[in-house]
Structure 1
Amino acid sequence: MAENLKECQVACKATLEQLETVCREEGVICKDLGINKYNLCDFEVEYLCNYKKVVVSNGKTPGRTPEVQEFYLVKWKGYPESMSTWEPRKNLKCVDLLTQFWEDVHKELKRQKKRSIPKKLDSAISSHLVQKAKHRQILRQWEVHLNSLGTHKGRISVCNEVDSEGPPKNFTYINDYKVGEGITLTEVAVGCECTDCLDNPVDGCCAGASQHRFAYNDSGQVRIRPGMPIYECNKRCRCGPDCPNRVVQRGIQYSLCIFRTDNGRGWGVRTMERIRKNTFVMEYVGEIITTEEAERRGHIYDREGATYLFDLDYVDDEYTVDAAHYGNISHFVNHSCDPNLQVYNVFINNLDERLPRIAFFATRTIKTGEELTFDYKMQIDPVDAESTKMDSNFSLTGLPGSPKRECV
């Protein structure tokens, strides 16, 4: 029995941050936690709470002016607020936190129509700064969570400098469809035999097998017109993950930011890097439900003033995607009458034409920092029998009860 105990392992219930705090309190050096004799006495600043100027020398010596030092009230990471301490500026190495602190101070003073910085911030300003810092922590935790779910190249950041709104309640971030009750996705049974799907497609590759054109050029840009379906290579295809006919399935490739709009439209999404025309940006992901269930939910959403229903009506109006409570970053994309995103129907591992994947491609070059938008009621050329349209009730308004988002 003693031999068996040698292999027994018990998971530690403390987090790494908690263990690091204990080590510093007890003066214990730990190589695994990165604590050595040189940084043992270093403590991490969580946020700055207050500021004051203190006269440390009265300047009574003839010809000597009083010496004034700046002090900051520091909330230490891993310690309660009751253990916050006043520290001189020279002890602080948190340049980014200091910059953010003063940005918040200047904004609040401007809001209060005060021109000069006081020797000590009053309690109202200090309380405001603490709330802003705590709010950023909540958003940062949400940001970490969102990025922990993705396996794609692009990174998601979160920013709210407008109000105190935090992560949406009753919303779960997902990267793939959540299939509703009574719905079955039929997996593809065959794949292509191509060794070079773009330059030497066998029988037209996956698109040709479905009697359609190859959708992408050698740069991964869509080259077919809206309304035409995209058939990507699937998990049964001979080609590898670098195949040029695998674009949407690679996921988001650009760094994007979920941000709070300053004109009452709730959350929005902007790109943190330049996006080329005709390149894939994101999918519209949510729950796949029947049209009947969508009708029932639609009546509820109408009363709440918000709906995220997207009809999958490529051939038959049988199914709908609902991104109200389950969705990805597309949940936060706003409407525009002049959008920079276009919808395409995409088929990969499921060839059921009633259940296409909904992919957004850039209609033009999108600049860094520009908001991403699509037309909630966009219509594809009705001359084409293969068309994609938005639910006529689709008006993505952020949280239930938010005002309707107008064109941007």
Structure 2
Amino acid sequence: MAPNLKDCRVSCKLSWEDLQALCRREGLLCSHLGVRKDNVNDYEVEYLCNYKKRKTQEFFLVKWKGYTESENTWEPRKNLRCPKLLRQFRQDMRAALLQANQPLDPVSLNPSIASFLTQKAKQRIQLQKWEGLMNQTCKQKGRIFVCNDVDLGGPPRDFTYINTNKFGKGVEVNTVTMGCACDDCTSQPVNGCCPGLLSHRRAYNDSGQVKVMPGVPIYECNANCRCGPDCRNRVVQRGIQYDLCIFKTANGRGWGVRTLQRIFKNAFVMEYLGEVITTEEAERRGVVYDKQGVTYLFDLDYVDDVYTLDAAHYGNISHFVNHSCDPNLQVYNVFIDILDERLPRIAFFAKRGIKAGEELTFDYKMTIDPIDVESSKMDLDLNRAGYEGSPIKRVHMECKCGMKNCRKYLF
């Protein structure tokens, strides 16, 4: 074991890859880092950043993992064992040459294209690290992917990915202390299960699709219930079940989210997570967000306008879901371990079948009267987006959803 490597990693905040490179540079062997006699002289390509051709032989400028850019070296193609990086570099180079209207079989690259390829490689590494961190945090069945083929922008700044809501100062939280005694919540009478105990019927069918109308609260089984994690009355709490991709939009709407898998109508898609704050704090933050021309404030006004969910700096993938005047997601209020009606969890379900590759959207003005709409005689078109009294704080922003029924402005 090389001396003091563990202490070095802590004090210098070095990654394992950097420590491996340090060992190889100094000729040190380390069983913990996998640096042995037979591979001490091996080097790992971090990215490729330039290209040239001499007669029929191709050369690539290599940035080595754990080494500085001043230590980059030109290497012939035969020396490189990184087919995925080579394939990606060629794709980026071809795209850059086409954009610059230059020959696709160059002898060398001009400095501007070489600089672009280096920035693109660095961006891809940053996005891959961000992607890995999000998947490590959420720990759910559905995987998160990241793609930016539009510009050189990296991960958002000042944003922390979270797996559960974060409660701010002044928010009173009381978790439920009892649950249902059902062994099988679907086969036993509903009046003994969580929804029935709160005078509601079960919200899901046997496939986990929501069967109550928007505006009707959903009560799932909680941590104190006798039923297990496979209970059919546990849907939102299982997290995202579909592979989703955060991608950069090409029409100036920033980041967006698309599904990589088919989603059936009424299926749970994701929860809107953020920092739960008081309405007073929301008003203060709203002034700042209005000046920035953005907003992630979602009023939790199921019964009283007391708390607001702010996903600006803390949130999950829902932070990146764009608005549409004709959305494919519908908002529902869900109660699980907190039954306080001032603190519903906000869940998105599919309004219709959603194809793989389709962008996910919800209407920022979508809200339903909290009165039980099944028993209400109000004449409401529940499939129509854009009810008055939005749960999202308003800033006067142009809508770019591109739908036929676009209202031209978000609010």
| SS of equivalent residue, structure 2 residue 94 | helix
Deviation of 1:296 (Å): 2.7
Aligned counterpart for 2:266 among listed residues 248, 254, 278: 278
User: Alpha-carbon deviations, 1:342-379, whole Å to 9, x = none?
Assistant: 11100000000111000001112222221110111113
CA distance in 2, matches of 1:204, 1:101: 61
**Equivalent residue, structure 1, for 2:312:** 324
User: Alpha-carbon deviations, 1:102-129, whole Å to 9, x = none?
Assistant: 1111111111112332111122211111
Task: Kindly report the root-mean-square deviation, in angstroms, between the aligned alpha carbons of the 2 structures.
Answer: 2.4
CA contact (8 A) 1:308 1:394 kept: no
Deviation of 1:42 (Å): 2.7
CA contact (8 A) 1:232 1:246 kept: yes
Between 112-121 and 10-19, report the one with greater CA deviation: 10-19
User: Alpha-carbon deviations, 1:65-101, whole Å to 9, x = none?
Assistant: xxx2111111111111111111111221211111111
Amino acid at match of 2:228: G
| SS of equivalent residue, structure 1 residue 371 | coil
Amino acid at match of 1:75: K
CA contact (8 A) 2:18 2:65 kept: no
Amino acid at match of 1:376: Y
**Equivalent residue, structure 1, for 2:322:** 334
Pair 1:50-2:50 in alignment? yes
Pair 1:19-2:11 in alignment? no
**Equivalent residue, structure 2, for 1:391:** 391
Unaligned runs of 5+ in 2: 10-14, 377-381, 404-411
| SS of equivalent residue, structure 1 residue 258 | strand
Q: How does 1:252-401 map to 2 (within 5 A)?
A: 252-380=240-368, 384=372, 390-391=390-391, 393-394=393-394
Q: How many residues align?
A: 383
User: Alpha-carbon deviations, 1:138-196, whole Å to 9, x = none?
Assistant: 22222222122112122212111111222222222222111121111111121000000
| SS of equivalent residue, structure 1 residue 281 | strand
CA contact (8 A) 1:335 1:396 kept: no
CA contact (8 A) 1:334 1:405 kept: no
User: Alpha-carbon deviations, 1:225-277, whole Å to 9, x = none?
Assistant: 11111100001111111111111111112221111101100010111222222
| SS of equivalent residue, structure 1 residue 13 | helix
| SS of equivalent residue, structure 1 residue 310 | strand
**Equivalent residue, structure 1, for 2:408:** none
CA distance in 2, matches of 1:260, 1:392: 23
TM-score scaled by length of structure 2: 0.86
CA distance in 2, matches of 1:404, 1:281: 24
Amino acid at match of 2:391: D
User: Alpha-carbon deviations, 1:20-76, whole Å to 9, x = none?
Assistant: 223333555544333445544332111111111113xxxxxxxxxxxx211111111
**Equivalent residue, structure 2, for 1:243:** 231
CA distance in 1, matches of 2:395, 2:84: 38
CA distance in 2, matches of 1:281, 1:206: 22
**Equivalent residue, structure 2, for 1:3:** none
Give percent identity, aligned residues only: 62
Pair 1:118-2:106 in alignment? yes
CA distance in 2, matches of 1:142, 1:172: 10
CA contact (8 A) 2:19 2:66 kept: no
CA distance in 1, matches of 2:114, 2:400: 34
CA contact (8 A) 2:302 2:370 kept: no
| SS of equivalent residue, structure 2 residue 193 | helix
**Equivalent residue, structure 2, for 1:90:** 78
| SS of equivalent residue, structure 1 residue 257 | strand
Q: How does 1:63-102 map to 2 (within 5 A)?
A: 68-102=56-90
| SS of equivalent residue, structure 2 residue 308 | strand
Amino acid at match of 2:17: E
Aligned counterpart for 2:115 among listed residues 116, 121, 127: 127
Report which of the two structures shows the higher radius of gyration computed on alpha carbons. 1
CA distance in 1, matches of 2:393, 2:234: 32
Task: Tell me: CA distance 1:226–1:396, structure 2 relative to 1, closer, same or farther (3 Å).
Answer: farther
Aligned counterpart for 2:165 among listed residues 165, 177, 186: 177
CA distance in 2, matches of 1:184, 1:201: 33
Task: Tell me: CA distance 1:392–1:257, structure 2 relative to 1, closer, same or farther (3 Å).
Answer: closer
Deviation of 1:291 (Å): 2.2
CA contact (8 A) 1:192 1:202 kept: no
